[in-house]
Structure 1
Amino acid sequence: MQMKLEVENLTKYFDDKLIFKNVTFSVKDSERLAIIGKSGSGKTTLIKIIMGLTNSNSGKIIFDTPPEFSVVFQENLLFEERTVYENLIFCCEIDKTTALKLLSELELEDYINTKVKALSGGMKRRIAILRAIVKRGNIFIFDEAIREVDGYTANLIISFLNKRLKNAPLIYITHDESEIEKLNFDKIIKL
């Protein structure tokens, strides 16, 4: 999976308030980039600019190939009235055997036919992460991927990500510095 992203001198204001100024970085091939900062520092805004969901005031974003994003937003964005399996096949083709194998890595195999609305918040988070992995874009963007999960579940997710995203470019947004050590990032940016 070859991909190169370059961000050059991005600046963003909301009205007259400066959110960030002259942010510059690159991510290529299988690099992992962590963007860390307090709440309100512009982390989510930055990735929305990268994905083309909002504009910057100045700066450039350059991709060497057309981006195919696999994203986990802060909100889970799942179909509550659909089953876990239906949520997985919504974005791509995946057979039930493969789905069960992946679900078992996140200790969710018993819930493949369960409607998402019946799941806990931590279970929904794992489904949102798994759906991004299954989509298999050429760049992964995770915004607060392990927020609101207990320590055991956080470690389960981190282990899963380390295994499944071994050779994929990842931009990972967090406010928690302890996550950075566990996911072995190549680069870290503080906002």
Structure 2
Amino acid sequence: MLEIDVRRKTLRMASGDERLALRDVAFSLGEGEVAAVIGPSGCGKTTLLRIVAGLDRDFEGETKLPEPLKIGMVFQEPRLLPWRSVRRNLTLAGARPGAALDAIVAALGLSGHLDHYPGELSLGLARRVSIARAFAVQPTLLLLDEPFVSLDAALALRLREELASLVETWRTTTLLVTHDLDEAVALADKILILSPGPGRKIAEVAVKAPRGRASPREAALLRREIETLVARAGGDEGAHEKG
């Protein structure tokens, strides 16, 4: 079980002033569940991810993480070591060669690229390696920060499908930060909507048929519901700030 309760998180600016980044963000996830966090730029999504990862402990609130804890992370950029082959990038992350790693590599279509170096890979292949690296440690908690940003729609769709298959297979509790509603609807069991900064949770929407099981009509209705909530939140926060 993942339980997050961030009551208040401030950031210290270069000027020395403090800026409130997050307030009243609480949610929980069970084993194998996926949550997508959406909200406008600057609402604290990446800050929330850092708190969950344990990289930022300077906040008011508490976190309860899965046990035993093994965290896999996928960043906006692949962040591969350019002087190491794909194979070495995977094993340096702590993965042991064997059937489990072979299955992850095969699922992501990387079997023919293990001896290549990051500079020889397309962006799509490099993103696959970063996903494989995250799964290679057999994580109990997977954290993803805009993993498919800047990819064309067809490639992003293919990578979403591959990621969804791995999450289903490994029953990995997953927290995904994204701006892409299609991505959130396709992957998540629940969608957490944050207000404009300082980010607070304004809604938690259940996805009844995640990971490719929703019909086009169901997905469209869900997107419309979320868009309405996001638009309403922007108006409510604006009125609150003026008040």
TM-score of Structure 1 vs Structure 2, range by shorter chain? 0.7 to 0.9
SS of 2:37 mapped into structure 1: strand
| Alpha-carbon displacement from aligned partner over 1:51-74 (angstroms, at most 9, x marks no partner) | 111134311112352421111122
Q: Does 1:128 align with 2:130?
A: yes
Q: Distance in 1 between matches of 2:145 and 2:48?
A: 11
The higher radius of gyration belongs to 2
| Alpha-carbon displacement from aligned partner over 1:83-135 (angstroms, at most 9, x marks no partner) | 1111111121024x765654443333332211112212222111101111121
Q: Which range moved further: 26-35 or 64-73?
A: 64-73
By relative contact order (CA 8 Å, sep 6+), the higher-ranking structure is: 1
For residue 189 of structure 1, what is the amino acid of its counterpart?
L
Q: Does 1:176 align with 2:171?
A: no
Match of 1:75 among 69, 74, 77: 77
Aligned residue-pair number? 186
Q: Which range moved further: 21-30 or 146-155?
A: 146-155
For residue 31 of structure 1, what is the amino acid of its counterpart?
E
* Counterpart for residue 6 of structure 1: 3
- Return the structure number with greater helix share: 2
Q: Distance in 2 between matches of 1:50 and 1:114?
A: 33
* Counterpart for residue 189 of structure 2: 186
CA contact (8 A) 2:6 2:22 kept: no
SS of 2:9 mapped into structure 1: strand
Q: Distance in 2 between matches of 1:119 and 1:69?
A: 25
SS of 2:176 mapped into structure 1: strand
Q: Distance in 1 between matches of 2:51 and 2:103?
A: 35
Alpha-carbon distance change, 106 to 163 in structure 1, aligned in 2, over 3 angstroms:
same
* Counterpart for residue 96 of structure 2: 93
* Counterpart for residue 63 of structure 1: 65
SS of 1:13 mapped into structure 2: strand
* Counterpart for residue 145 of structure 2: 143
Q: Which range moved further: 61-70 or 28-37?
A: 61-70
Where structure 2 has 5 or more consecutive residues not aligned to the other structure, the ranges are 13-17, 195-243
Alpha-carbon distance change, 65 to 99 in structure 1, aligned in 2, over 3 angstroms:
closer
SS of 2:82 mapped into structure 1: coil
Q: Distance in 2 between matches of 1:65 and 1:37?
A: 29
SS of 1:165 mapped into structure 2: helix
For residue 149 of structure 2, what is the amino acid of its counterpart?
R
Q: Which portions of structure 1, spanning 4 or more consecutive aligned residues, are displaced by more than 6 angstroms? A: none
- Deviation at 1:178? 1.2
Where structure 1 has 5 or more consecutive residues not aligned to the other structure, the ranges are none
SS of 1:45 mapped into structure 2: helix
Report % sequence identity.
30
Q: Distance in 1 between matches of 2:66 and 2:73?
A: 19
CA contact (8 A) 2:66 2:141 kept: no
Alpha-carbon distance change, 106 to 137 in structure 1, aligned in 2, over 3 angstroms:
closer
